[in-house]
Structure 1
Amino acid sequence: MPYAAVNDTQLFYRIDGAANATAPWLVLSNSLGSDVSMWTPQLVEFSKHFRVLRYDTRGHGHSEAPQGPYTIEQLTGDVIGLMDLLGIERAHFAGVSMGGLTGVGLGARFGHRIDRLVLCNTAAKIGSPEVWVPRAAKARSEGMLALADAVLPRWYTADFISRHPLVMSQVRDVFVHTDKDGYASNCEAINAADLRGEAGSIQAPTLVISGTHDLAATPAQGRELAESVPGARYVELDAAHISNVELAKEWNKLVLEFLQGA
């Protein structure tokens, strides 16, 4: 499996569409409690047009989980370090939830490396200490299985959950096998990150996508983010928190049109 030593951490990554050596790069960043597999619904279409780089955020999937707490500086630095190691000068970037928060940081602090930015089901400030502190503590003390029944039903609408039991089984499998300390350390990174004062400095063309039924990063927060980024476009989908999976066809069309637009 491909690993890269970045910021003293082994990061797992995958590249698809690599046969087209002149295609632009697209970096995809996972949500909290998931891994590279969350982007499976995008791969067939996206790899026709881009060299797609997926990676497991530190503390997730096959990437290492160094001692935390983590910071938004580390999460953005991991992306830039991975791009440097792979010789990627500039790339489009799309992230969901925690991955979207990472995207806000990249757009604000490393704008010269980002071509277009997709910030999905996220905000410049996600949640509060009342959410993240007890969740991190529970993950460390009781493990990921203790969180699954409270967290996963918020990711998708009840209708989607009832119609797609195999998808939910796969999602649950990834979640409960996420390193508990890595998960907790990422909760602490999200809790500490407040990028509302930096979002206005993003210059890359930006698309903000929210889910009408998202309880974790609400449409109001998505609109606030879009309004703070100069020229950003805001779109709301009839989905919950993981809209790239729940409404994959609509999401793919929307994002492809944005990334390939004039």
Structure 2
Amino acid sequence: MRLNYETTGPEDAPVLLLGSSLGTTHAMWAPQLETLAQRFRVIAFDHRGHGDSEAPDGPYTIDDLGGDVVELLNELLVERASYAGISIGGAVGLWLAENAPDRFHRFALLCPPAYPAAGAQMWTDRAAQVRAEGTKAITEPTLSRWFLPEYADAHAAEVDVLRQQLLATSDEGYASCCEALGAMDLRPALGDITAPVLLVTTDSDQSVPPETVVELSAQIPGAHLEFIEGAAHLVTYSHPDLVNHLLLSHLT
């Protein structure tokens, strides 16, 4: 499975992988890239079915998505790295923390789902809708969950960047990742995580309810929880300075 990726920063710096949100590409990390690349060799990648990564027929599983990242490390001859991920990228981070602990130093997970809080059927239905009607059918509802109205109104250009990423995402890739989210439950092994974990949630996240991230913080040994007010799901865009500070503080 070939993942598309972009590398930024000094080649001899510690490696940091960036896993993006459902329906986006590695380019969604633009608000963080310049800051992180001053300290890390940043490898921002596209999940399978997204961007320029391969999009095999689904359904996918969280094991598939996490295993792809381990394969990417092997391809790049990276023995150990740190990892930051948001949304489905955060779920992949949880899987990696549980299943590949020897390959990672630290994790920063923003708005990460560990199980389908709204129920598996919601993801099954969304996958079916996208296969039938394309990602255009879910683009505007998704953007309304990603950003508070006041942010969207004041930052139309930034929102449109994410809109175009959603519209360009493979219908099969998006739907298959929905099925991965609907089928996963990472809670049983949370207590086995040994790496330092930063969890970030927001007060207005409709995609991954904040109370579910608070639950994770109680189950992952030593996890540090940060709660950001006045933000929805894509906090990396709405609060980049705060997110960048949190990432650097935890990962360095």
Which bin holds the TM-score, normalised by the shorter protein?
over 0.9
Matched, 1:49 2:45: no
SS in 2 for 1:28: strand
The two structures have a TM-score, normalised by structure 2, of: 0.97
Aligned with 2:186 (options 195, 205, 213): 195
Deviates more, 1:127-136 or 1:43-52: 127-136
What's the RMSD between the two structures over aligned residues?
0.9
Tell me how far apart the structure 1 counterparts of residues 53 and 11 of structure 2 sit (CA, whole Å).
26
**Residues 163-174 of structure 1 aligned to structure 2 (within 5 Å):** 163-174=154-165
Aligned-pair distance for 1:130? Answer: 2.7
**Residues 196-211 of structure 1 aligned to structure 2 (within 5 Å):** 196-211=187-202
Tell me how far apart the structure 2 counterparts of residues 15 and 161 of structure 1 sit (CA, whole Å).
29
1:85 is aligned to 75
Aligned-pair distance for 1:150? Answer: 1.5
**Residues 219-238 of structure 1 aligned to structure 2 (within 5 Å):** 219-238=210-229
Aligned-pair distance for 1:21? Answer: 3.3
1:149 is aligned to 140
1:94 is aligned to 84
Tell me how far apart the structure 1 counterparts of residues 37 and 213 of structure 2 sit (CA, whole Å).
27
Q: Identity of counterpart residues, as a percentage?
A: 38
Deviates more, 1:177-186 or 1:115-124: 115-124
1:26 is aligned to 16
The two structures have a TM-score, normalised by structure 1, of: 0.94
Matched, 1:249 2:241: yes
CA contact (8 A) 2:121 2:182 kept: no
Q: How many residues align?
A: 250
SS in 1 for 2:18: strand
Q: Which runs of 5+ in 2 are unaligned?
A: none
Aligned-pair distance for 1:213? Answer: 0.5
**Residues 1-16 of structure 1 aligned to structure 2 (within 5 Å):** 9-16=1-8
CA contact (8 A) 2:116 2:183 kept: no
Moved over 4 A (4+): none
CA contact (8 A) 1:123 1:225 kept: no
CA contact (8 A) 1:71 1:190 kept: yes
Tell me how far apart the structure 2 counterparts of residues 71 and 167 of structure 1 sit (CA, whole Å).
31
